[in-house]
Amino acid sequence: MKKLRKWSRILHRDIGYFFIGTTILYGISGIALNHLSDWNPNYSVEIKNFTTTLNLENSPSVKTTILTLLDNIDNRDNYKKHYYPDKNKLKIFIKGGSSIIVNVNSGKGYAEYLKRRPLFYEANFLHYNPNRIWTWFSDIFAAALILFAITSLFMVKGKKGITGRGGIYTALGILLPILFLIFYL
Tens of pLDDT along 147-168? 989 988 888 888 988 889 999 9
On whether the CB atoms of residues 88 and 104 are closer than 8 A, the answer is yes
- Helix extents (H) in the chain: 2-18, 20-34, 62-73, 120-127, 132-152, 165-184
Ramachandran category for residue 73: left, alpha or beta (phi over 0 → left; psi -120 to 50 → alpha)? alpha
Over residues 46-50, mean pLDDT: 96
Cα 125 vs. chain centroid, distance in angstroms?
6
Residue bearing the bigger pLDDT, 129 or 78 = 78
Can you tell me the distance from the alpha carbon of 46 to that of 73, in angstroms, rounded to the nearest whole number? 13
* pLDDT for position 105: 95
Percent of the chain with pLDDT over 70: 100
pLDDT of residue 154: 85
- 3-state DSSP assignment of residue 84: strand
Strand order in the sheet with 89-94: 43-51, 108-116, 98-103, 89-94, 79-86
> Quick one: pLDDT at residue 156?
85
Average pLDDT over the chain, rounded to an integer: 93
